[in-house]
Amino acid sequence: MRLKRLQYLLVALPVFFLSVSAFAIELNEAAKQAAKNNNAKVLSARTINQGGGRRTHEIKLLTKKGVVKTVRVQDNSQQKKKKH
């Protein structure tokens, strides 16, 4: 029984870490693009799960004028995977 659990764990862990790293890259890219488009610096960035598999990246920016601005970017990575 322990051997089966260990085998499952060895298979599941790499899949989990791959999906987390891919997810982090998507958020990072969205934050960089939002900062570039608004000529601003990124204060924070997070991803919001909206149900139905939809996710939105919420990025808080500090503009050159000192104004804090929130930008929301739809994460389309799930839609791209479904089309293939």
C-alpha 45/C-alpha 55 separation (Å) is 13
CB 5 within 8 A of CB 24: no
CB 30 within 8 A of CB 75: yes
pLDDT at 78: 56
Enter the pTM of the model.
0.62
Cα distances from 1 to residues 5, 6, 7, 63, in angstroms, run: 7, 9, 10, 57
pLDDT at 10: 56
pLDDT at 58: 95
CB 57 within 8 A of CB 45: yes
